[in-house]
Structure 1
Amino acid sequence: MLTNKYRSTFYIGVTNNLKIRLEQHKDNLETGNKTFASKYSLEFLVYYEKFVWIQEAISREKELKKWRREKKIELIKDFNPKLEFLNYHFDSI
């Protein structure tokens, strides 16, 4: 899950390479590409899950997108209590 510097909006997506995908989101912000993530300046990673099978990842993405904001924040805080930006912690990902 990505958020902006104010942690006010969240974006959920699936990728097979998180580092590259985060770079793409940042590039979209810098080049002005009109995406949901760039519109709301969503570039900071606060939550992630790993899956072996893409079908499981897509299923989980769909599930999370249906959740209310409060439930998403609770999930994030269980994983990342301070809602820290995890973009530069790839050694643990």
Structure 2
Amino acid sequence: MKQSYVYILKCSDESYYVGVTSDLTNRLFKHNTGFYPTCYTFNKRPLELVFYAEFTDITLAIEKEKQIKKWSRAKKEALINGDYDSLVNLAKKNFE
């Protein structure tokens, strides 16, 4: 079964980019060399891989990528730092 990856890149402007690929090494090379001139990361190089997760089902990987893209910066950073206990609390909204 082919591996897929959800990854988070930290950009030079301190923002995060979330993506999905079946070839992580090649995708990182393309991001860092500016292969995709219309990509969000093109003008935000150099890039640093700060998180990735492996999946055996590309459909699940795509779902997780879409989910993480919607997360707040704080929640993404908790994931990056392996602070899984904080993820639930960071999902709660403050309606005050």
Q: What TM-score do the two structures reach when normalised by structure 1?
A: 0.73
Unaligned runs of 5+ in 1: 80-93
Question: Counterpart of 1:26?
Answer: 32
Contact 1:3 1:11 in 2 (8 A): yes
Question: Counterpart of 2:20?
Answer: 14
Unaligned runs of 5+ in 2: 1-7, 84-96
Superposition RMSD in Å: 2.0
Question: Counterpart of 1:43?
Answer: 47
Pick one of 61, 76, 86 that aligns with 1:57: 61
Which structure has more helix as a fraction of its residues?
1
Measure the CA separation in 2 of the matches of 1:52 and 1:73. 24
Deviation at 1:43, TM superposition (A): 2.0
Deviation at 1:33, TM superposition (A): 2.3
- Opposite residue 2 of structure 1, the aligned amino acid is L
Contact 2:11 2:47 in 1 (8 A): yes
Matched residue count? 76
